[in-house]
Structure 1
Amino acid sequence: MTSDFIAVLANPSAGRGRHRGLLPGVLEALGTAGHPVRLLDAGSSAEAELACHRAVADGAAAVVAVGGDGTVHRALQSVVGQEAGFGVVPAGTGNDFASAVGVPHDPLKAAEAIAEALREQRDHRFDLARTSDARGERRWFCAVLAGGFDALVNERANRMRRPSGPRRYDLAILLELARLRARDYTVHTDGAVHHLRGEIVAVGNCPSYGGGLRIVPDADPADGLLDVIFATTLGRAAITRLKPRLRNGTHVTDPRITVLRAREVRIEAEGIIGYADGERLGPLPVEVSCVPGAVRLLR
């Protein structure tokens, strides 16, 4: 490879900071690939994404995301369609993409695997999902797009200043459950049209989101397809009982829940802000396409 450095995007607050002390060891392990290691400087999510794009434009051999799915989401925007490889060091609360593509759970082992892949010039191709909103703005995501109750919870939590950490999401769930109502959706899957009234709609490139909630348990990020889940009206009691079943994916046996596979998906609904990899996309409608082998993963 002619590129001469490894760009590292690290989120110090990922995983509530529990891996912060590991960063020097991660950087040292990456350095064994034989390339200089450059830690990117960014004060916000937007700056982080821009820094990754600049690194790729400057000829980075690889962009490595140290954090959870949100950090991965920001970094991967820069590597799609580029020569730079992509590495993930799982250090977040939710590491759903890393788990789905076989990245070692231990951050230091993941960094060592990235360095070895660079030395041996090998990689693995995985699919990504490409979104396009009503304004034509395009984004990529690696794990799951939420367009139902889960998206409403994310939007609510992001508007709250306290409490901090997971308690904020727990409170957001309670507040959204209190005002739960089914909504009218139109879901297009490879030309088929599904009209429904319900609370759950999601599109997955990988099986899980939220740190192991297997919303589409059979999704495969290397099959060239997206898994789409939607449900007719479940109601407050069923939604409350859903989370334990999401851990092992048994919710899909509920006759009110439908799971389909498609290459192209369009979701239409009013009053919903879509979230992908836990990051805010914008209001529905949104179109989602599976792009096979879009990312060159180093592991």
Structure 2
Amino acid sequence: MRLILNPSAGGGRAAAALPGVEARLRELGVAFRTDTTGGLEDVGDLAREAAAAGEVAVPLSGDGCVGAVASALAGVDGALMGVLPGGRGNDFARVTGIPRDPVAACDVLVHGTPRPVDLGEVDGRRFIGIASLGFDSEANRIANEAPSRLGPLVYAYGALRALAGWKHARFTVDVDGHRTEVRGWSVAAANSGAYGGGMLLAPDAELDDGMLDVVLTTESSKLTFLRGLPRVFKGTHVELPTVRVLRGATVAIAADRPFTVYADGDPIAELPCTVRALPGAVQVLLPA
């Protein structure tokens, strides 16, 4: 196996976990080597090198690095990846049942089952979790600039800070040829169910159904939005009258003002954009 370590992930959490991870892999009798990356720019190259060498590519990092490895391996014959969560949110591990303790997650690399996992793609750039925009654009930007000591709370912090200056936008969303226009907070195209450190934005989304769950958060007062925000952590916000969920394989999105699209915690595109589901794009070792 090839460990791909992002030492800055999780405010240093991934780097701190490395000695325990390596010790556990030795106990399990796993042959491995470790590469350290300085950022997402070279993660894809390391993942493809691992696949070419017949190694399992295993990011020890956050969801951004997990998405980058998955993107690099998509469509590569025989490529296989594992996941050791080392970031702040670790939402991919959360929705797939991988232990969020990276040392405990080592056992999945040995006893897990390879399974095909879908990816999403925004204008040619792939992601594994949720692509979102609107209010989420500002909340993500603030969260990415926040102090690492906040840990998973950084996402709630970003949302609360973004709330102060938010003004509703008008979105045009075309899902498999069916056009919808809404005014409100945000649009998200979900390949996975969770983002933001445990927010179940799309509780019914599946990683292997070849579809995207499109979550529209429509117009409401800031107080109503704030009252409903805790429900996102249980996924019950979809029962609110201000939330609509559509499903489709291709989603075209535009708005009445510019927004950056974020996915797996990082900026990935600008509006207008088209999001597509890529069925069974990558094989991932998951709990049996």
Q: TM-score, normalised by structure 2?
A: 0.88
The residue identity in structure 1 corresponding to 2:72 is: S
**Following the alignment from structure 1 to structure 2, what is the Cα–Cα distance between the partners of residues 174 and 295?**
35
- Runs (5+) with no aligned partner, structure 1: 1-5, 133-137
Q: What is the CA deviation profile of residues 230-284 of structure 1, one whole-angstrom value per residue up to 9, with x for unaligned ones?
A: 0221231122223211111111111121101111111112311000011111211
Matches of residues 19-98 of structure 1 in structure 2 within 5 Å?
Answer: 20-30=15-25, 36-56=31-51, 58-82=52-76, 83-98=78-93
Which moved further from structure 2: 278-287 or 37-46? 37-46
**Following the alignment from structure 2 to structure 1, what is the Cα–Cα distance between the partners of residues 158 and 117?**
33
Which moved further from structure 2: 279-288 or 211-220? 279-288
Other-structure match for 1:135: none
**Following the alignment from structure 2 to structure 1, what is the Cα–Cα distance between the partners of residues 21 and 245?**
39
Q: Are 2:115 and 1:124 equivalent residues in the alignment?
A: yes
Which moved further from structure 2: 236-245 or 277-286? 236-245
Q: CA deviation at 1:9?
A: 1.1
Which moved further from structure 2: 11-20 or 82-91? 11-20
Q: TM-score, normalised by structure 1?
A: 0.85
Which moved further from structure 2: 28-37 or 220-229? 28-37
Call closer, same or farther: CA 1:178–1:22 in 2, change over 3 Å.
closer
Q: Are 2:283 and 1:289 equivalent residues in the alignment?
A: no
Which moved further from structure 2: 245-254 or 285-294? 285-294
Q: CA deviation at 1:73?
A: 1.6
Other-structure match for 2:222: 236
Contact 1:214 1:246 in 2 (8 A): yes
Q: Are 2:167 and 1:181 equivalent residues in the alignment?
A: yes
Call closer, same or farther: CA 1:171–1:260 in 2, change over 3 Å.
closer
Q: CA deviation at 1:23?
A: 1.3
Contact 2:200 2:234 in 1 (8 A): yes
Q: Are 2:244 and 1:250 equivalent residues in the alignment?
A: no
Which moved further from structure 2: 278-287 or 24-33? 24-33
The residue identity in structure 2 corresponding to 1:178 is: A
RMSD: 2.3
**Following the alignment from structure 2 to structure 1, what is the Cα–Cα distance between the partners of residues 4 and 187?**
31
Contact 1:207 1:218 in 2 (8 A): yes
- Runs (5+) with no aligned partner, structure 2: none
Contact 1:29 1:115 in 2 (8 A): no
The residue identity in structure 1 corresponding to 2:70 is: L
